[in-house]
Every structure is written in structure tokens, then in C-alpha cells.
Amino acid sequence: MKSSDETAARDLNALREKKPLVHNITNFVVMNSTANVLLAAGASPVMAHAENEVEDMVSLAGALVLNIGTLTDEWVRAMVVAGRKANELGVPVVLDPVGAGATGLRTAASQELLGAVDVAVVRANASEVLALAGGAEATKGVDSVHSAEEAAEVMPGLAKELGCTIAVTGETDVVTDGEKTLEVAGGHPLMGYVTGTGCAATVLVGAFLAVDDDSVQAAAGGLAFFGLAGTRASEKCPGPGTFWIRVLDELYNITDEDLRSAGFISER
């Protein structure tokens, strides 16, 4: 049996060879940065949100990323249309429920999307996962006020209830479908000082899903790849501006052998 790190390395090569189109309906804050993340990694991003275009666009895609970071009702409608078409075509869908728990609109939109679309992976921070699990405490805006460990307790149950894989990022990332659970090391505290790092993790999960239909493995692989970029970028780093630029450089430079030998993925 191949190890998860071995598979992640193979998936990274597949990603660079196939250059899958990743269709994003995402927030205004990160459109540029997550497009750059996907390009640096070797994928081909497209951002398209018009309700009368998303079905055509997702038909060309290897994965669909739905991110509610600056949502309105209109955008959520387009996400549902795109998501259903993706389901019809077998295109895997990743959901980033940005700020779920912070406002009623965000929690409701996340639930609506999870009800209307068959989502392969929910990539979220701990507070968002707790909000989706019905936790009473509010998220403070879009930054997590809980640890991944806190979220990990409710994740297997939530994953089974939702019928999808849940990937929570934090000091250690945790990925589970309720049966198999993987932990992913890597990353760096500077990630908390750059906007859209969670969203970046999400699009890389999408890119890995485009080449690997094992959603737990694909999510762990995308997170390990991003975590390694963060770890390498943080070396002798003067601050968050430089850090992010180096993350993009690293996503471009990290080889399959680098990812394999990092050994970031382990069974929980």
C-alpha cells in the first residue's frame, strides 16, 4: 500500500501534467491570490460567477470551488446552479464556508449549499466547523477562535451526517470522512497574518481532487502541499508580505520528492 505522502506526491505530478481547470465561485478578497496559488501549483484557474455562464464553465472543469467569503443571495444562487451541474457531470465540489457562524446569512448559505449540492470536501477553520455542527458560539468574523482539536471532536459525526469529507486547518490540519482520519503537519504562524490562506488551502484541495477521487487523500495531499510551501517560505522571513510571495514561489518549486520526503501526512 502506498503511503498517503507517496500518493500526494504522485497527485502533485498528475496535477502539473494535466493542468486541470479549477472553476472558482469565490470571494472578491482572494480572487487574485487564489488564482495565483493555482497557477503556481500548476493548475489552471478560472473565476466565473454569472448564473447564465456557470454551467458552461463548470463543464470544462476538473473541480469546482465554492467560497462564500463575500456572499450575496445572487452569488449563492449561482453556486447552487454550478454545484448541481458539477454533480451531474461528476466534477468534484469543494466548499469553503467562510465565516459560517459569524452571521445568520453565512450559516444559512452554508447549509443551503450543503443541502442542494453533493459536496466532496468542506475545507474550513475550526470555528466554521463548529458552527456547521450546530455549535452555539459565534465565529468572530472570518478568523477562527477555536482550535482544530476542538473541531476534531465533532468532525467524524458531522462528516457522516453531511456525507462528505471535512478538512479543518489549524496548527495541525485534520481530515476525515467519518471513517478514515488523517492529520497533516506543516504550515507556519505567519499564515495567520496573510489574508486568504484558508481560501488558498481550499483551492489546492480542489486541484488535488481534480486528479484523485479519494477525497480524504486529495484533501490531505492539497493541505500537505500548501503546508510545505508555508514551512519553506517561513525560513528567515522578514514578515507576512515577503512570506506570501515566497509561498507562491514554493508552490512552483516544490517537487514530488520534496512533498514525499516532508512526510506531513499521518493517520490519526
Residues at the site binding a copy of itself, with contacts judged by CB under 8 A: 21, 23, 27-33, 35-36, 39-40, 44-50, 52-53, 56-57, 60-61, 69-73, 99, 102-106, 138, 140-143, 192-196, 238-242, 244-253
Q: Cβ 161 to a copy of itself, closest distance in Å?
A: 25
Q: Based on CB atoms, which residue is closest to a copy of itself, 14 or 29?
A: 29
Round to whole Å and give the CA distance between 113 and 195: 24
Q: Cβ 252 to a copy of itself, closest distance in Å?
A: 4
Round to whole Å and give the CA distance between 16 and 175: 23
Q: Cβ 80 to a copy of itself, closest distance in Å?
A: 16
Q: Based on CB atoms, which residue is closest to a copy of itself, 61 or 259?
A: 61
Q: Based on CB atoms, which residue is closest to a copy of itself, 24 or 165?
A: 24
Q: Based on CB atoms, which residue is closest to a copy of itself, 143 or 179?
A: 143
Q: Based on CB atoms, which residue is closest to a copy of itself, 88 or 179?
A: 88
Q: Based on CB atoms, which residue is closest to a copy of itself, 50 or 134?
A: 50
Straight-line distance from the first to the last Cα atom of the chain, in angstroms, rounded to the nearest whole number: 17
Q: Cβ 162 to a copy of itself, closest distance in Å?
A: 23
Q: Cβ 214 to a copy of itself, closest distance in Å?
A: 25
Q: Cβ 163 to a copy of itself, closest distance in Å?
A: 28
Round to whole Å and give the CA distance between 52 and 212: 29
What is the crossing angle of helices 215-233 and 197-209, to 10°? 140
